[in-house]
Structure 1
Amino acid sequence: MRLPFLVFILFAFHLGHSQKYPRDYFRSPMDIPLYASGSFGELRGNHFHSGLDLKTNQKEGLSVYSAADGYVSRIKISEGGYGKALYITHPNGYTSVYAHLKKFEGSIAEYVRKKQYAQKSYEIELFPQASDLVLKKGDLIALSGNSGSSGGPHLHFEIRDTKTEQIINPLYFGFDILMPDAVLPVINGLMVYAVNDSSVVNKSQRPIPVNLSLQKDGNYLADKVYAKGNIAFAVNTYDQADKNYNWNGIFKAETFLNGSRLFGYQFEKFAFDETRYVNNFIDYHRYKTIGQTVQKLFFKRRYPFSVVSGNVTNGQITVYPGTTLNYRIEISDFHGNKRVINIPIQYSEAESTIPKTEVKTPYFVKSKNDNNYTKDNVSVFIPANAFYDDFYMNFDVKDNVLYLHDDTVPVHQNLTVTFDVSGIPNLNREKTFISRMDGSKKEFFTTTKKGNLFSARTKDLGKFFLEVDTIAPRIYRPNFAEGANLDKYDSISIHISDDLSGIKEYNAYLNGKWILMEYDYKTKTLVHFFNDAVYDAEKNELKVVVSDKMGNSAIFETHFFKTKT
């Protein structure tokens, strides 16, 4: 009787898992084979990737379809981020998202265009009523593109829980069938850490790599690790799939100590307010200093990231005298392809020959507490839990410049930087803002001014100072000569840029009428399409006005001829 009972239990488990999400409800958003250039939960700058990046054959303009019946519940167009994005709410409790689009189609395009002209703005966010834009499964909704912060043509596709707005891995909804994968994840390297001040691993208190040997069964055996105290590991890994050689993120990682589960995470779903935890999920210092991304299989202080679960010791291993341990790492993709790393660990009394490089300063930040630091005319307020761990911070002010540590320490919540400008003579207050050096570029921060106190909020450390912007933006290089005949043109374009505070607003007028111009910040181009039918027969006067964030404006005027059709 035991065997049938076991079969029943396994069947019930599989049935429950498959029924958690509807696997045959959504269709593919495109009519081409699906290959991912980015996976759900993939590690990105300051965030986890929230969907699937679907390849579009390295070009724009492919048809995008509604994945199921529903209605358009949100439309957002922004110069960065998702660019042109469409949200469809479905009656089964989920919302599908389509981003980086080139253009909307049909009644959606007309609805958006009318709203843009009514609001006189290219960037727009709309929340249509359920009866405004009703869709059937398979309806053409848009063409794929490269808008917003996209790094190349593709379709970003998401599925969200409509009520909670949590993002869910689309592979759970049957998209794994459309994206077959028999390829094992790839292990690029393994790091070991001495977690505490008293810990030593392989005679080091700094993170060091561990050699791996590939075994005949496809798994890895690590060199024996000699340690004492608390130690932990991180892995450099990525995933690939059939006919797809992109380095995508992994789906699941688990660790085991002498056969018992120690630490794990699985990218099933997460909330948007959790996404910045990626900076504690990786070895951030290593990423910023040498550009290598390793995923930590531990944390020093527990943090509320729902993807990580069931971790009694925060993933850390305590090596006592006389102990010999076997530590195992399992890296899996959604389809169950798995790599295993076996790591033997043995206690050693050996002292460290490679000490920690931590430099003690007068400013020790206790991450669980509020912290406030002031020197000369500058102050910094650090709220509790703005940092993931305690650390010694570099803090100094010289000649009205704030030196606030460096960008190798991640910040989770906004810090407030305040300059008292009362002692700065001849300051152009109206055109002054707080800036930060981002590499060789000066970064603009929205600055709140209350009397002599200029404040800005930031999630970055580094060098901060007051900057003055009195230079107007540039308007240049239209795609036609003044007075040209544009009968064969379907659009006009012109370039705009601002080198300091950045562009805040742009408006264009044909013969005194406001016209819609689409802005692509990557190419610094404004484009107006003549099918809006705003132009007049024969001569047309064009005026473009561009303002930066400090109120400096530039005006460009020209004219062209075009026959009305």
Structure 2
Amino acid sequence: MKLPYFLLFLSAYCLGQTPDYPKDYFQSPLNIPLFASGSFAELRGNHFHSGLDFKTQQKEGLPVYAAADGFVSRIKISEKGYGKAIYVTHPNGYTTVYGHLKKFEGPLADFIKKRQYAQKSYEIEVFPSAGELTVKKGQTIAFSGNTGSSGGPHLHFEIRDTKTEETINPMFFGFDILMPDTKIPAVNDLIVYAVGDSAVVNSSQRPIPVSLSLQPDGSYLAAKVLAKGAIGFGVNTYDLSDKNYNWNGIFKAETFLNGSKWFGYEFNRFAFDETRYINNFIDYYRYKTLKQSVQKLFYKRNYPFSLVSGNKKNGQIVVLPNSVYNYRIEISDFHNNKRVINIPIQYSNAEATIAKEEKTTPYFVKSKNDNNYTKDNVSVFIPAGSFYEDFYLNFNVKDNVLFLHNETVPVHSNLTVTFDVTGIPDVNKEKAFIARMDGTTPEYFTTYKKGNLFSVRTKDLGRFQLMTDTIAPKIYRPSFTEGGNLDKSDSLSVRISDDLSGIKEYSGYINGKWILMEYDFKTKALTHFFSDAVYEEGKNELKVVVSDKMGNSTIFETHFFKTQKQSSVEKPN
């Protein structure tokens, strides 16, 4: 009988084996020394990082090369996310991804530009056929940039399993050789948790730090932990590498109890539909309140996350009377540089002087069941599996405002919040929407309207209320004065913004013809490049139309002069 692919992979992981990935098939996508500003599966907000971020010497415009022969199977341009991205499928069963690009090169640039003009949209996603855009190993396919949700110039690079679409650690494919590392991972914090209902650890039922002492051999010795019942540990850790000062994520964590393997995980590969499990993988409360990313070395309840599901134990340690335990944590990077933490644990029957911080409410969420709560004109539907654990929910409605707990509890899947606006006076149904308040800043949610019922789907808790947006977006700060001569300019731009519901659509026209305008939400710049050759020699009329998500629109009109025709093919920097 054949095992499914996932079970074969999981079995290999449990046995401590690594699949046989090709080590010399892929070349570097950059022709510079490789340094990572982000590692594979690094802890990010609501997700694990899905590839490697390569530094590009703090600048844009470096050539990006195809890592191997193949064909371009997907091109996606979006305002956020990966920005401008290319996906190349290779005959060996893998797909490489190149994100945050500044621009495409050659046939790729022509191909996507034609599609954008045909669809009259900057944001676009196309799936070329296998023979449509072939590339050779080492061929320049694009230039590095800072598009999308990038926080600075770099190249995001991934290797995916083409069939399963799981993303795989590129270090398995020989990139570890291109990125030497002799530095040991570092530890910022060690946290101990009283997991069981009657557990106590160091006289506390709340998570508390454990002091560490650095030993001559580079290991840490923790202060003795006195406990009873089920306890667990978490670490706030990071990795450094040679000639690189970024704090990146680790590769592997393993724990041992009295010398026997107890719990562990290795950041080797994962599926995109499980990446949100990061919110259960870390101490989410600590992350939201203290901005610390503590990875738990245990779990309270089984959850279907492949990186931890290979464990036979849940990582908890049950401390019994008359017992002493030696607990060891080993934290490693991909080059097997290892940091060891030794923790002595001893039974203590001392009662807790620091009690659990739990407030009971009339609304107890059973995470494995559907839950539905209603008060006044507001209802909240919580499908089974939306939360990782059972808890008491703070739920209240006052003056048509919903108070739905707070951000310290992670939500895995969408909840539905519904407002009945029947009894609310002067509601502008066309321009009203449900917003979540982030402090004093409203966050727009797509609102579904059916008669007097307004609903949103959300993976966030907090304060929700109805808001009305009747104010049109702003178009301002054009890059030229009206009637100016732009012979020496390769582009024109305006800034756009909206203070409430946010920008939904934008279009530009020169002499009545639609033009491609690229939007960078970080700088709020909307830019058109003259290499598209849409303008006429002499006087040109420019019109820009911007609409927000509630249908409010602004039109900006001006004119400029340009007499020098440019080539329709943009030369790379």
TM-score tier (shorter): over 0.9
Distance 1:555 1:210 in 2: 60
Residue 119 of structure 2 corresponds to 119
Runs of 4+ displaced beyond 4 Å: 16-19
For the residue of structure 2 that corresponds to 1:318, the secondary structure is strand
For the residue of structure 2 that corresponds to 1:357, the secondary structure is coil
Distance 2:501 2:277 in 1: 29
Distance 1:417 1:262 in 2: 42
* Contact map agreement 2:303 2:309 (CA 8 A) in 1: no
Residue 191 of structure 2 corresponds to 191
Once structures 1 and 2 are overlaid, which stretch shifts more, 252-261 or 119-128? Answer: 252-261
> What letter matches 1:514 in structure 2?
W
Distance 1:69 1:481 in 2: 48
Distance 2:497 2:323 in 1: 64
Q: CA deviation at 1:542?
A: 0.2
Deviations 1:219-246 (A, max 9, x none): 1111110000010000010001111111
* Contact map agreement 1:43 1:278 (CA 8 A) in 2: yes
Residue 3 of structure 1 corresponds to none
For 1:238-317, list aligned pairs within 5 A.
238-317=238-317
Q: CA deviation at 1:313?
A: 3.4
Residue 213 of structure 1 corresponds to 213
Residue 6 of structure 1 corresponds to none
For the residue of structure 2 that corresponds to 1:356, the secondary structure is coil
For the residue of structure 2 that corresponds to 1:457, the secondary structure is strand
For the residue of structure 2 that corresponds to 1:430, the secondary structure is coil
Distance 1:533 1:219 in 2: 64
Residue 96 of structure 1 corresponds to 96
For the residue of structure 2 that corresponds to 1:308, the secondary structure is helix
* Contact map agreement 1:263 1:309 (CA 8 A) in 2: no
Distance 1:396 1:187 in 2: 41
For 1:322-337, list aligned pairs within 5 A.
322-337=322-337
Q: Which runs of 5+ in 1 are unaligned?
A: 1-12
Residue 570 of structure 2 corresponds to none
> What letter matches 1:166 in structure 2?
E
* Contact map agreement 2:48 2:278 (CA 8 A) in 1: yes
> What letter matches 1:238 in structure 2?
Y
* Contact map agreement 1:194 1:231 (CA 8 A) in 2: yes
* Contact map agreement 1:536 1:564 (CA 8 A) in 2: no
> What letter matches 2:216 in structure 1?
K
> What letter matches 1:355 in structure 2?
A
Report how many residues are paired. Answer: 551
Distance 2:269 2:438 in 1: 32
Q: CA deviation at 1:564?
A: 3.7
> What letter matches 2:70 in structure 1?
G
Residue 165 of structure 2 corresponds to 165
> What letter matches 2:527 in structure 1?
V
> What letter matches 1:275 in structure 2?
T
Residue 42 of structure 1 corresponds to 42
Deviations 1:108-131 (A, max 9, x none): 000000000000000000101111
Identity of aligned residues (%): 75
> What letter matches 1:294 in structure 2?
V
Residue 387 of structure 1 corresponds to 387
Deviations 1:18-42 (A, max 9, x none): 7611110000000000000000000
For the residue of structure 2 that corresponds to 1:20, the secondary structure is coil
For 1:468-483, list aligned pairs within 5 A.
468-483=468-483
For the residue of structure 1 that corresponds to 2:115, the secondary structure is helix
Distance 1:315 1:366 in 2: 23
* Contact map agreement 1:263 1:310 (CA 8 A) in 2: no
Residue 9 of structure 2 corresponds to none
For the residue of structure 2 that corresponds to 1:483, the secondary structure is coil
For the residue of structure 2 that corresponds to 1:360, the secondary structure is coil
Distance 1:484 1:386 in 2: 57
Distance 2:408 2:189 in 1: 21
Distance 1:19 1:31 in 2: 28
Q: CA deviation at 1:197?
A: 2.1
Q: CA deviation at 1:469?
A: 0.3
For 1:358-507, list aligned pairs within 5 A.
358-507=358-507
* Contact map agreement 2:189 2:236 (CA 8 A) in 1: yes
* Contact map agreement 2:201 2:226 (CA 8 A) in 1: yes
Distance 2:259 2:453 in 1: 58
The alpha-carbon distance between structure 1 residues 419 and 182, as it changes in their structure 2 partners (threshold 3 A), is same
TM-score (norm 1): 0.96
Matched, 1:53 2:79: no
Q: CA deviation at 1:152?
A: 0.3
Residue 340 of structure 1 corresponds to 340
Residue 8 of structure 2 corresponds to none
Distance 1:34 1:206 in 2: 43
Deviations 1:236-266 (A, max 9, x none): 1000111111100000001111111111110
Distance 2:293 2:71 in 1: 40
Distance 2:521 2:557 in 1: 21
TM-score (norm 2): 0.95
Distance 1:429 1:261 in 2: 60
Q: Which runs of 5+ in 2 are unaligned?
A: 1-12, 566-573
Distance 1:189 1:279 in 2: 19
Residue 9 of structure 1 corresponds to none
RMSD of aligned Cα (Å): 1.1
> What letter matches 1:59 in structure 2?
K
Q: CA deviation at 1:310?
A: 3.7
Q: CA deviation at 1:17?
A: 6.0
Distance 1:384 1:132 in 2: 45
> What letter matches 1:265 in structure 2?
Y
Residue 226 of structure 1 corresponds to 226
Distance 2:18 2:276 in 1: 30
Residue 62 of structure 1 corresponds to 62
Residue 568 of structure 2 corresponds to none
The alpha-carbon distance between structure 1 residues 369 and 551, as it changes in their structure 2 partners (threshold 3 A), is same
> What letter matches 1:53 in structure 2?
D
Distance 2:398 2:546 in 1: 36
* Contact map agreement 1:232 1:316 (CA 8 A) in 2: yes
> What letter matches 2:290 in structure 1?
I
The alpha-carbon distance between structure 1 residues 292 and 254, as it changes in their structure 2 partners (threshold 3 A), is same
Distance 1:383 1:345 in 2: 40
Distance 1:226 1:111 in 2: 66
Residue 20 of structure 2 corresponds to 20
Distance 2:257 2:393 in 1: 35
For the residue of structure 1 that corresponds to 2:416, the secondary structure is strand
Distance 2:94 2:277 in 1: 25
Q: CA deviation at 1:451?
A: 1.1
The alpha-carbon distance between structure 1 residues 397 and 284, as it changes in their structure 2 partners (threshold 3 A), is same
Q: CA deviation at 1:485?
A: 0.7
* Contact map agreement 1:535 1:564 (CA 8 A) in 2: no
For 1:70-149, list aligned pairs within 5 A.
70-149=70-149
Deviations 1:115-151 (A, max 9, x none): 0000000000010111111100000000000000000
Distance 1:370 1:18 in 2: 40
For the residue of structure 1 that corresponds to 2:229, the secondary structure is strand
